[in-house]
Amino acid sequence: MPDITKPILEVKNLRTSFFTDDGEVKAVRDVSFDLYEGETLGIVGESGCGKSVTVMSILGLVQRLGKITGGQVLFRGKDLTKIPADELRHVRGRDIAMIFQDPLSSLNPVLSVGYQIDEAMYAHDVIKHDDIRARGVDLLEEVRVPDASRRIKDYPHQFSGGMRQRAMIAMGLSNKPKVLIADEPTTALDVTVQAQILELLRDLNQNTGTSIILITHNLGVVAGLCQRVIVMYAGEIVEEGTAEQIFENPQHPYTWSLLRSMPRVDTSRRERLKSIEGLPPDLIAPPPGCKFNPRCPFRIEQCFSDDPTLETVGDDDRHIAKCWVRMKRAYAEMGAATLTDTRPGAASGVRPPKTLVEKLEDSREIEPDTEAVGDLRGS
């Protein structure tokens, strides 16, 4: 049985930036986490919060303007951010495989599916070359592509969306990797196919003990699959814990808001979807203090001046959150349980300090006009 207390991959203080004409976009800011053997770890957050860039950085796949500016990625005692390119190449696809969001654009349109699967095996010396062709068909069968021996000769455009993602998974599994990183593997697929793909990932995790990092913005997917969950916001981890802790007892207001915004089958039809006000911050010049303060209903004065650190919640050191207030206090003092108005500062009644408002207005990030927002919602 896999040992789920032993980290197989350790990410330490990872920082990745994109150097654009407008300035340095700090997409990943001091992110640390461990991936244990045989576990499925979920990373959730809105679009643009640094989930993908974090995992791309692990394999050194950040392109063009992007650059890892600090930190370590330890795998088998080696720092993947420091090892030579050729050594890193052999980690990619052999030890750590990756599958991507859009399975159509992620497969090369001019090469056959079988060719692309075989090629992944020829690139490394895990599978004997004589066995590669047969294994290609076996893999496709394993990921439940019907009529695999015939379909393996097809081109990606002859595959449906779900089949392409299966082929991607087959490709990822071809060298029996230790870690599979799945970057929003079901986002481009329809719901029934999503469920099939997720089941495939679960079986894979249970049968082979492959560790999985699952990136998604779909909390339902996380709940069904992951043992541990990391919540990211604005390039940082804001909360981390077991799936149970995150879903039953979220402590960061962002996690709480994400969970609240999930549509549920058991709510009234007339009820509006609860969205989180505002947008994630500009990562070139994020707000001072906690980066969630412009959107947080429970913010206090301290949130505007000091950036909180990740600290353990309660007595279980696996559950950590990065917040001055925490939901425990929000429930006790700010009536979070019955809160209907989730506008920024609504529960705590704290508005940004005057000096900050002027600065924000200068930099076009104006605090939403409460009345105008009210009008919009009423309509």
Q: Site residues for other proteins, window 80-139 (CB under 8 A)?
A: 85, 89-94, 97-98, 100, 102, 105-112, 119-120, 123-124
How many chain residues bind other proteins (CB under 8 A)?
31
Closest contact distance (angstroms) between CB of 188 and other proteins is 11
Contacts 24+ apart (CB under 8 A), 242-251: 242/318, 242/319, 243/42, 245/313, 245/316, 245/318, 245/319, 247/219, 247/223, 249/313, 249/319, 249/327, 250/327, 251/313, 251/319, 251/321, 251/323, 251/326, 251/327, 251/328
Strands (E) in the chain, as ranges, are 7-20, 23-36, 40-44, 66-75, 78-79, 96-99, 179-183, 211-216, 228-233, 236-242, 311-313, 316-321
Segment interacting with other proteins (CB under 8 A) among 39-47, 59-67, 189-197, 304-312:
59-67
Closest contact distance (angstroms) between CB of 334 and other proteins is 44
Residue 338 CB contacts under 8 Å (≥ 6 apart), including other chains:
none
Segment interacting with other proteins (CB under 8 A) among 30-38, 57-65, 304-312, 353-361:
57-65
Residue 153 or 318 having the CB closest to other proteins: 153
Site track 227-256 with other proteins (rule: CB under 8 A), x = hit:
------------------------------
Residue 112 or 302 having the CB closest to other proteins: 112
Backbone angles phi, psi at 28, to 5 degrees: -125, 120
Q: Please measure the distance between the N-terminal and C-terminal CA atoms of the chain and give it in whole angstroms.
A: 57
**237, 11 contact by CB (below 8 A):** no
Segment interacting with other proteins (CB under 8 A) among 55-63, 218-226, 292-300, 309-317:
55-63
**CA-to-CA distance for 229 and 313, rounded, in angstroms?**
15
Closest contact distance (angstroms) between CB of 61 and other proteins is 6
Q: Give the residue, chosen from 1, 21, 63, 371, that forms a contact with other proteins under the rule CB under 8 A.
A: 63
By CB under 8 A, is residue 51 in contact with other proteins?
A: no
Closest contact distance (angstroms) between CB of 181 and other proteins is 9
Footprint of other proteins on this chain (CB under 8 A)? 59, 61, 63-64, 85, 89-94, 97-98, 100, 102, 105-112, 119-120, 123-124, 155, 157, 168, 171
